[in-house]
Structure 1
Amino acid sequence: MNKNVTPSQDQALTLLNIKALFTESAQYVIPIYQRNYAWGVIEIEQLIQDIYDVSTNDTKGTPSYFLGCLIVYERKNQPYDGKKSYEIIDGQQRHTTLCILLAYLKNELAINDDELNHLTFNLTFDSRPRSINAFKNLYTNGINCDIEEPNIYSAYNIIDRYFKTHKVNIEQFYRYLFENVKLLRITVPHDTDLNHYFEIINNRGEQLEKHEVLKAKMLSECAKDAKVRHCFSTIWDACSNMDGFVQLNFSADIRSAIFGKDWSDFPNSFADIQAHLSQSSSIQNGVTIEDIIADKRFHPIDTDNNLEKKERFGSIIDFSNFLLHVLKLTINNQTKTSQNNKMQQGDEVSLDDKKLLKQFYYSNNKLKVEPTEFAFNLLKYRVLFDRYIVKKDTENRWRLLTLKKYTNDFNYVNTFDAINEQLVMLLSMFDVSNPSSTYKRWLYRALEILNKIADKKALIDSPLNYLEKLEKISQEYLSEICKINGNFSDDKLHQGIKVHNFIFNLLDYLLWRHLSKGKRFNGLGKSELGDHFDNFQFTVRSSVEHYFPQTDPSGEKVMKNVDRFGNLCLISPSTNSRLSNYSPADKKKFYREKNRIESLKQAIMMSYNDWGPEGQGLENIKKHEEEMINILRSFMFIPA
């Protein structure tokens, strides 16, 4: 075929299931202009969770799951061992993750399945020999890490941990993945300027999102009164930008009317907001979407009309998921106040944003909530969220802040005084234990608490009450894992990588709290820990490290109970990949040279001189373990 001839429609678009993608006679190439593999725990776990959710759906038949598009260019003059050679233009992160996932399934499944046993690695790289070697290693069940490719091995460990902690039926998952997960391979014409196409792909505008479709559908349900529609739309648009404080997403001339002179007030009803908007002289000249999402920092200004320079904060949740939280809270509040106190069929709300549109409507296409009531609740919960739920600042630090208006400027101040730092620790502990945007059960509970204890101005006067109720939630989660027949059981703590992230994160929170009050562990207080205590904050750590390694390359005696809780701590996947087989002494040396310790439990473990399978090393493991478990046990039984 002449290289300038455009492929036929059949050649250009091919719908493939995963089985066909990995068994056809084709090789996929990551070209030199593509970035390195960069997916982490959030993206990988979300992919697996989405596929697993559909595979276990109770709907009739076996639904397919569409994974998206893989955009490729066929290299006619560069076949790979006689196979078709496709250069990946868009979709390499997803395709690479699938390769790692299938390597894991191939290594873990001890079944006689010709399809799986003969599965071959069909991804190569133009200029990354270490990546090629890493994949060959994985596909031959050689999962020892290569320090030059930590992200690939980290992804493998993330997958391994997810399957073990979520008790996924691995054979069922594999079969569904192979047969029912599909993607659309799009082959671009041969005369395509690939550099230009790649630039277009990476600078393309955002597609219409589900929440924008939902907004249009709900607007159509509103009264024909243009003022009502305008008020609904204004509230919705202001709340949709999650990366800041909602007050700043309203036009300057109505902020004080809606939120009071210091922006700490809250309107009484949707009608009040509508009245303020109607009185505004610039109803049609509010802040544009572009202005709202622009990344502008705050500087002191002279007039109220110029209060547009603002800090941008990272939200722990996106707008689609926030809408589902508000919907669930609204419906549950309606249920509790209704006379019959019974939920209608279809009232249950899933916090899965893939089902966003479906969740707002009954099977007869009737809305579950009245639009103006929902818009008012949306703004109320958004104000509560901004004031009392943590955000990330531009330096990636957790913050709990309130927007404060002065005469001619505004600023961000701590929401509370003495207790603010502890609330930051507790809230961020919850979030890193569930870093995905979906299924934030703790956030729903926190918003539910805030709605109960806040006054009509959406303010709470007892931060201690808020803290105690949040700690009660963490007690409940701990009990779900460790409570058996009314007693604390440590069985779930001695399971290596199967131990829940939440256990390690909760323990670090409790250690921080005890250290803050002057308690010492193995002779260490907060002064001895120094910067490791002062700079400690929760980050997304998803790899369980065995301080004494599971496989000891030095030839020393391997500890029989290597998975016991005293020998475990939670660190980042990349660090775990680098150090997994290091001895405790070498790990300690590495962390001291880097001046980096990732958890408070880890810092205490490293304070012991001996650590190992026998003698004083084993006694130290037991001592540390008993102390840590006692902290968890005592916390679980603190009276509510």
Structure 2
Amino acid sequence: MKIESKDTDVESLLVGSYFHIPRFQRPYSWDDENLNDFWDDVIVNQSDDYFIGSMVVYRKDKQQYGVVDGQQRLTTITILLCVIRDYFLRNGSQDLAEGVHQLVERKDRSNKNEYVLKTETSFPYFQEYIQKFNEDPELNIDIQLEERNLKNAHNRFNKLVGSVVNSIDQDASIKPEYKIDLKVEKLVNLRDAVLNLNLIFITLDNEDDAYLIFETLNTRGKDLALTDLVKNHFSKNLKTKGDVDHTKIKWSSMLDTIHNSSSDISSDNFIYHFWSSRYEAVPLKKLFPKIKKDISKSKAKDYLDALVSDSKIYRSIHEENFEWSKNESDVSDSLYALQLFKLSQPTPATMSLVRSYKDKIIKYKKLRDTLSAIEKFHFVFTAITSSRSSGGISAMYSSFAIKLFNCSESQAASDLISEFVTKLRDKRPSIDEFKVAFREVVYTNKNSKQKNLVRYILEKFSLHYSYKYPVDFDDLTIEHLCPQEKIGQGEWLESSVGCLGNLFFLDQKMNGELDAKSFADKKKILRERGYSLSEFVANSNSWTPDLILKHADKMAEVAYSEIWKI
């Protein structure tokens, strides 16, 4: 591998070369914090020899280079120069504007205009809306994540450069006839500060060396993620044939599926769970070497196709309305519950189950019942008793997922699932542990962390007993049979007033009507208005902290032995 390096500055770099951002690079991703740091370093605290690090490229032609490391900085510098160029033009300095534009676009040896920085991932937005000089965009472009980041950077620099220029107009001590010249002088200083930035320019001989270097480098401001490394590996092993870059299209499709989700999911976690649901449970930090070793050129296409397919499955298990029909609502409800419990451990198993269902290895009933078993297990194990696993639970899920992935026959899959559900049943905490923890689920206005869990529990009890309400279910709120105002009065503590035994569903209008009523009057009015009451409440003549805890214990017994029984 031949490597050349030299000290240079931004102006020398842009005057003498053309740069191409290859498809294995990740999209532009700098946010306001990165942009503000760059502005402060370069403009606010500028010095004659400010160093911005190294830039690594590989040679494509005599003056053409592919960018390996430095993409984010080079793109940011180009955006800032375009903003400075446009401000020169607004202030009547056509020559200075055109001078800056020579560093953005100029004629090549064939006398054809060519942008100094060309990028595939954001084409044509970057060219049309930022690099183009003194012309309106001619294309309507669908704005994706990268385009939004580019637009944000462009807007941010417009504000920052504008604040420098506008400070001249706001200075009453400057005579009007001098203001244009001072504005231009400010812009020249900004331009020179950018062009005088120093860097080390490292050149590699070919693209293959670039792929190797890319795996070990970080870009300034954003470390390389697993997604970047895996994308690079696919690009290396799946070369483009013809005009259509299928690898880029498939990879973008996979990322769009993940990034467009309404749930908080990431591409790194998706790849991690993809792997542990199919092949092997590997710690995230050690996963890429494993992927690099296992995904050879001959296997790369199949792996990429699997990633694209599984990205939809991954999104569907985190987003209840994605690719689930009304007839599959029981499945999406169980998956939603697992998100409510804030769980990642079952993800390889749930991915593998949904995949087997989509591939018609298992039927809907089997998928529904198994996900329900996982939901019921984690309600007891995680949501209520907060049990801690030493790692055995995660290993069990991944092992099951991989075995199910390798099942090609329905009977084998069914037998495996039955064995898995039995393991879940055996790992449940005891009824005594559950009852103690169930008492400690509390919801008040001051202690609302468990509000969603409480609503989930009350909904399950309502369905189990077929409780009736005179209003739509969505209009019901969590209310306290003994009102919260009593907290601190005598024996009434937050732990009893907020306890599940004191909570029930009610609409807000009715809650206001019951506010000052006695316990007996409340029961009478609720019955008259069509509200269902639990048997314990209906048979109670008074309402005390002790009775609330006894009610909670009765609820816990039903929850453990009936509603969430596996």
* TM over 0.5, shorter chain: no
TM-score, normalised by the number of residues in structure 2:
0.31
TM-score, normalised by the number of residues in structure 1:
0.28
- Is the radius of gyration larger for structure 1 or structure 2? 2
